[in-house]
Structure 1
């Protein structure tokens, strides 16, 4: 495994992390505790030390599975979670960025994770109006001072949200999480230059374009009703699968796993600190980790 410094946090993170939206049950299957344990145990064996989750991946369900899985070895992990939503049922959640409620959300996350602190607490894809509430950031920074949060971050909803990115340092946020992959390069235009200027750590989410860059889906593929991808625009998904097929044919070297290539493609950008792909089982964890073999040396954030 390779490690990089996550911007101004000073945290040394594995370049490949574990995304855990799937633990919440919106990606076509439910997870038992033993399955979450197996995934995170394999990740640790491979040198992965970053877990990304959220309050609304289930009703703190993903966090609960993680908390039980890493109990007794909390200090081995960098745990990133998020705030801003109340989960009601699959695919149904309400935005809640009220400062006092966010503190309650934090307490619920800490309880679920079985910890007294989170390493990274991220504003979760909220609107600019909620982001611009100074009281929210004041109360969050008090939680930092109290030791319940080590660092603040912003998970921008639109991967072109320069407003929130540009104000990160002003609110004491030290990281940006953003959708970035070979099919979606919009952050390169404005978001990444702002991140570089502020020395923000960058977590690239959806680095496999929701599986489109995994090499597993061909044009015409369909998704089950309990898979979040079934709720997306069918024509857009088809275009993505067609473009991914062209990338596989024209850009991925023969004999190279497409998923590993796609993750390394993200990691070779000088602004990207780490990728946080999801994984359905320990085998996918290992396949994701293999991307480090394709990552070029000399990255500005290399540890």
Structure 2
């Protein structure tokens, strides 16, 4: 496979979040270092910390988490494993989704709640300032102006550097940008699920980072003998590496954050930065994905 001896996230290129925060485009999503259903402690706490440290060794300098992963577990493990942080390592977190149990999520974005969660994230991550804080969901019960008003105040106090959004459409980004500067959007997106193409185009036009969650393709495209599978075999790569390589190819503002709790799988994911296909090959795969 196109693993892993020389795998380094630096091969994915650089994007500068907010114009002043350069990161390697292939990052790491820290959702999977928790228990089943993104609930509770991982089975192997030391193993989870090892994955985090190894990600940094492999050139990953953009790690994405959220207060709701665990809840609290992912942030705490990042703080324990990586603080004091190496220079240039960006930790992004989110708040605005609450947990009622394994695999259960409900949006809550009342200002006083978000303010509390920012303070708690700072404590768990052992940070004085969050480099990228993201509103995990817009709360239908709370005007986004109210949710982001308190975040602007925290930004002015120096507790937040940059602000992003998650699972939004262009009109919602416009609405948010009237309150605060927005530098990134995190939406579900991969080669077989492109419902947020309009959001990606918006991000390209406005030079916002587009952070695709669920970055690895699923369904027919990935089946044995399918277009991705055939191309993967030709390039001595895996289907998930090809899914990630396509995202990097698709747009210069794309910052994929594949997650895993395994060192081996982490190395495979980072190896995607070295996978290069011709435009014609990508076109063929994109056609098959339609």
Pairing 1:243–2:221 present: yes
1:190-269 to structure 2, matched below 5 A, reads 190-209=198-217, 212=218, 240=219, 242-245=220-223, 246-254=226-234, 255-269=236-250
Return 5+ residue gaps in structure 2 as ranges: 1-9, 279-290
- On the 8 A contact 2:166/2:185 being kept in 1, the answer is yes
For residues 171-227 of structure 1, give each alpha carbon's deviation from its aligned partner in whole angstroms, at most 9, with x where no partner exists. Answer: 311111111111111222x11221122211111211114xx3xxxxxxxxxxxxxxx
CA RMSD of aligned residues (A): 2.3
Of residues 128, 150, 156, the one that matches 1:139 is 150
Pairing 1:24–2:5 present: no
Change (3 A) 1:271 1:15: closer
Return 5+ residue gaps in structure 1 as ranges: 213-239, 298-303
1:74 shift after superposition: 5.2
**Which residue of structure 1 lines up, in the alignment, with residue 162 of structure 2?**
151
Count of aligned pairs between the two proteins: 262
1:91-170 to structure 2, matched below 5 A, reads 91-127=103-139, 130=142, 132-156=143-167, 161-170=169-178
For the residue of structure 2 that corresponds to 1:268, the secondary structure is helix
**Which residue of structure 2 lines up, in the alignment, with residue 179 of structure 1?**
188
Of residues 18, 21, 29, the one that matches 1:11 is 21
For residues 80-121 of structure 1, give each alpha carbon's deviation from its aligned partner in whole angstroms, at most 9, with x where no partner exists. Answer: 110112323222343210001100011111111121211110
Change (3 A) 1:271 1:128: farther
Task: Name the TM-score, length of structure 2 as normaliser.
Answer: 0.82
For the residue of structure 2 that corresponds to 1:88, the secondary structure is strand
Change (3 A) 1:295 1:63: farther
